[in-house]
């Protein structure tokens, strides 16, 4: 028996036979094309075929996996039809007389390199989307037939890595788990694993010789067992039965309130990136949305989303959860989240630089488009608008003034709008220290524990080398959170925890003892959190 460790995506486990997936390969050379017109025709045929394939993949994924994953292929269609990407390939073929294959490869590689050198791990992982688009075009040009990943028996899939397109071709009803050499927690393989509640181990030194061998994946221990003993198989079969029992018990909590054994209640909200995430939030019993990260509308677009686009998206969120508490954070761009069309200059310390509310207040023409869309959407539900990265009182006051200016504009144009509650994120030590002043101006607080920890501990939370130094239980952080709660309640406004710490079950009792009014976490963390709350007694 072999025991190998890797990086786990979920704490699930699987027992089954390994099936090795071999990737398609296309040979690229830098030869000058003899007939540029013929190469142009070949590229255009591949382009239109790819667009049609992506449309079909979107529909298949929507039906078999879910709306969130289906959006991946709409994003691929947007990237493929991006004017700069498309024109760069055409220029390489027409002006430089390159083959269609080389033009696609060279332009795709340049774009891929930009993504993988970004600081944000999520954006780094989007480099895989660029490669997927590039490989799709190259494969179509090769004239080969699409390979199938169907299977008749349950299996554990082993591969170097998996692109989004390859991932959705898997027969998910037979898939037990993933083993890959590459990948990241933000890749689409990881997203699919989390969605389907199946184990995935990455950074495994895979060997083709394991193909056809029995294996066990233990996501919690981050271990892979090849050719396990009968005793170990029996032990894990019992564990599987226990996990299924616990999952059934958690689902039974879905409609029950988050109330402690001695009657203290707390609201549980979900954090989402897009309207397509709401279905999952509802299925996990979310009482509302505590954080809708609106910046992903900007990051996934090729140009600035206008007022109408934003209005319909925000309205969709509100109408999907009628009469529920919905918090939409104004765009939190900058630092490691950049959109090319915003033309943000490189910075030596981007986490401390031109970002979030600082961009919004200094570019009112951009901010007012979002505020107008939010105000119009507010007529359709219980909307709360949240301003991020606040460090000074004047920032809140100026943001509120701009909201009033937008209301006046809409009124003059006879456009219906609502009156959302305006609140702020507390995610800097400066905001903590002036929390009482801020509470007098805000309708609610949401404590962003991820950034608050980063700025308080002087520690880059995306730096893997600092993992051992990152301490969400640090006494300074706990004291800061308590200070914020006291300031909020002194001014009779609610306060929420929004960040990884909200799902940390070892902190749940402490948060409730402080008087936190709500916790906002990833949808899949809601039911385990509710179970913990219902088992607590505060008296």
The confidence score (pLDDT) of residue 11 equals 78
Comparing 59-73, 206-220, 347-361, the range with the smallest average pLDDT is 59-73
Comparing 249-258, 333-342, 521-530, the range with the smallest average pLDDT is 333-342
Percent over 70 (pLDDT), the chain:
87
The pTM assigned to this predicted structure is 0.68
Q: Which residues contact 300 (CB under 8 A, 6 or more apart)?
A: 75, 78
**529 band by pLDDT with thresholds 50, 70 and 90:** very high
pLDDT tens for residues 425-465?
A: 999 999 999 999 999 999 999 999 988 998 999 987 666 57
- Positive or negative, the CA dihedral 137, 139, 143, 147 is negative
336-344 long-range contacts (CB < 8 A, ≥24 apart) are: 336/118, 336/119, 336/120, 336/123, 336/462, 337/120, 337/123, 337/295, 337/299, 338/118, 338/123, 339/298, 339/299, 339/301, 339/304, 341/302, 341/303, 341/304, 342/298, 342/304, 342/366
Mean pLDDT value across residues 309-319: 93
Burial category of 342 from C-beta neighbours within 10 Å (exposed 0-12, middle 13-18, buried 19 and up): middle
Q: Are strands 495-498 and 267-272 parallel, antiparallel or unpaired?
A: unpaired
Question: Using CA atoms, how far apart are residues 363 and 345, in angstroms rounded to an integer?
Answer: 14
| pLDDT, greater one: 274 or 415 | 415
The confidence score (pLDDT) of residue 385 equals 98
- For residue 209, the 8-state DSSP code is G
The confidence score (pLDDT) of residue 151 equals 66
Question: Using CA atoms, how far apart are residues 361 and 343, in angstroms rounded to an integer?
Answer: 16
The confidence score (pLDDT) of residue 8 equals 86
Is 411 an active-site residue? no
54 φψ region: left (φ > 0), alpha (ψ -120 to 50), beta (else):
alpha
Residue with tokens 């995506």: 9
Question: Using CA atoms, how far apart are residues 183 and 163, in angstroms rounded to an integer?
Answer: 9
Mean pLDDT value across residues 87-107: 90
Catalytic residue among 188, 325, 380, 384: 188
Q: Which residues contact 208 (CB under 8 A, 6 or more apart)?
A: 20
Is 406 an active-site residue? no
Comparing 138-147, 175-184, 269-278, 507-516, the range with the smallest average pLDDT is 138-147
Catalytic residue among 325, 360, 384, 498: 498
Which H or E run contains 268? strand 267-272
pLDDT tens for residues 326-379?
A: 999 998 876 555 555 566 666 667 678 778 899 899 999 999 999 999 999 999
**65 band by pLDDT with thresholds 50, 70 and 90:** low
Per the prediction, the chain carries an average pLDDT of 86
Most confident of 143-152, 276-285, 300-309, 350-359: 276-285
């Amino acid at each position: 028996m072999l025991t190998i460790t890797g990086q786990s995506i979920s704490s699930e486990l699987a027992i089954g036979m390994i099936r090795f997936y071999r990737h398609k390969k296309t040979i690229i050379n830098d030869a000058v094309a003899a007939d540029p017109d013929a190469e142009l025709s070949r590229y255009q045929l591949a382009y239109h075929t790819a667009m049609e394939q992506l449309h079909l993949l979107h529909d298949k994924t929507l039906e078999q996996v879910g709306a969130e994953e289906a959006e991946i292929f709409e994003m691929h269609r947007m990237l493929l039809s991006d004017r700069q990407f498309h024109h760069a390939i055409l220029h390489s073929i027409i002006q430089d007389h390159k083959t269609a294959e080389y033009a696609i490869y060279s332009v795709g590689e340049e774009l891929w390199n930009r993504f993988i050198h970004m600081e944000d791990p999520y954006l780094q992982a989007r480099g895989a989307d660029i490669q997927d688009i590039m490989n799709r075009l190259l494969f179509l040009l090769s004239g080969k037939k699409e390979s199938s990943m169907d299977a008749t028996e349950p299996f554990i899939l082993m591969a170097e890595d998996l692109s989004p397109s390859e991932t959705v071709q898997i027969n998910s009803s037979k898939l037990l788990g993933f083993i890959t050499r590459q990948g990241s927690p933000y890749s689409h393989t990881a997203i699919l694993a989390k969605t389907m509640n199946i184990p995935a181990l990455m950074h495994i030194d895979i060997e083709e010789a394991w193909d056809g061998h029995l294996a066990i994946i233990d996501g919690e221990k981050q271990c892979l067992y090849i050719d396990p003993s009968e005793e170990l198989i029996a032990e894990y079969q019992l564990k599987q039965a226990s996990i299924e029992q616990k999952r059934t018990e958690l689902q039974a909590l879905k409609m029950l309130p988050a109330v402690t054994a001695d009657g203290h209640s707390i609201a549980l909200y979900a954090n989402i990136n897009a309207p397509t995430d709401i279905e999952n939030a509802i299925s996990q019993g979310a009482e509302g949305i505590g954080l809708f990260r609106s910046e992903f509308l900007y990051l996934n677009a090729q140009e600035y989303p206008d007022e109408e686009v934003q209005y319909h998206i925000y309205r969709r969120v509100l109408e999907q959860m009628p009469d529920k508490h919905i918090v939409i954070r104004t765009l939190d761009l900058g630092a490691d989240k950049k959109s090319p069309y915003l033309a943000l200059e490189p910075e030596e310390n981007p986490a401390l630089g031109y970002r979030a509310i600082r961009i919004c207040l200094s570019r009112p023409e951009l901010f007012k488009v979002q505020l107008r869309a939010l105000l119009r959407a507010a007529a359709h539900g219980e909307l709360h608008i949240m301003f991020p990265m606040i460090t000074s009182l004047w920032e809140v006051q100026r943001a509120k003034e701009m909201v009033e200016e937008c209301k006046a504009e809409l009124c003059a144009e006879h456009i219906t709008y609502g009156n959302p509650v305006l609140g702020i994120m507390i995610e800097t030590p400066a905001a903590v220290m002036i929390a009482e002043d801020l509470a007098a101006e805000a309708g609610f607080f949401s404590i962003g524990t991820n950034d608050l920890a980063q700025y308080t501990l002087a520690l880059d939370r995306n730096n893997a080398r600092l993992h051992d130094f990152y301490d969400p239980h640090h006494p300074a952080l706990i004291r800061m959170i308590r200070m914020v709660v006291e300031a909020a309640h002194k001014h009779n406004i609610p306060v929420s925890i929004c960040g990884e710490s909200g799902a940390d079950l070892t902190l749940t009792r402490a948060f409730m003892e402080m008087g936190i009014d709500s916790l906002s976490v990833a949808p899949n963390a809601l039911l385990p959190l509710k179970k913990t709350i219902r088992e607590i007694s505060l008296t």
